[in-house]
A and B are shown apart, each in its own frame.
Chain A
């Protein structure tokens, strides 16, 4: 157990629907990062939050949004889902906003299948 908790582990939904993925960071970590992993795109950085504030944005679609709550858990919202959104979505956490030299701690991911 890495200490980063992601729920649900698996999600199957239909095109056009909306889903919410949840992440609880490791105790003491203030930063949360979201990544999408697909066979053709590899690991793509989506977005980072630090202590409740958006810190960095990557290749995140407008249909996707995220937030980090006062208790530091984060949610990734995916809407108007398309078949191509099927992927593994990982959450990772780190202690500080710029403490990337320590590396991340990853959760076990949410596998999203859009049918």
Chain B
């Protein structure tokens, strides 16, 4: 069965610093992978997705993620953090008929 593990339930970075949120997946088939962001009191919003093709995927708000099959990873990065990036981030992969989500990583930005 497909599964997703997000390393670190909380990540704190300074404004302007690199953001790195880690995600590893387990899938018996070529995976479709997603990152979602959840701002306080809101639903989840799609940041980016990997289906096939280029392994470096660019998303909204300056985020990008790289699919590394050899490492079964799909880490999310952003070169320079903004205060507005403070939110919870979820990695997901496709399962049977549904998306399977990781436990989430809460990102805090320090001024």
**Chain A residues at the B interface, C-beta cutoff of 8 Å:** 2, 4, 33, 35, 42-43, 45, 48, 55-56, 58, 90, 92, 97-98, 100-109
Question: Does B43 lie within 8 Å of A2, measured CB to CB?
Answer: yes
Asked if A90 meets B103 with Cβ closer than 8 Å, knowing A33-B98, A48-B98, A103-B49, the reply is no
- Total A-B pairs, Cβ < 8 A: 57
5 additional contacts (CB under 8 A) given A33-B98, A33-B99, A101-B32: A4-B43, A45-B100, A56-B97, A97-B97, A103-B46
Question: Does B99 lie within 8 Å of A100, measured CB to CB?
Answer: yes
Closest CB of chain B to A63's CB: distance in Å? 21
Partner of B98, one of A58, A90, A101: A58
Q: Of residues 1 to 60 in B, which have CB atoms within 8 Å of A's CB atoms?
A: 32, 34, 36, 41-46, 49, 51
Question: Does A106 lie within 8 Å of B90, measured CB to CB?
Answer: no
**Chain B residues at the A interface, C-beta cutoff of 8 Å:** 32, 34, 36, 41-46, 49, 51, 90, 94, 96-104
Asked if A106 meets B45 with Cβ closer than 8 Å, knowing A43-B90, A100-B97, A100-B98, the reply is yes
With A and B bound together, what is the CA distance between A92 and B32 in angstroms? Answer: 17
Chain A residues near B32: list those with CB within 8 A.
100-101
Question: Does A42 lie within 8 Å of B43, measured CB to CB?
Answer: no
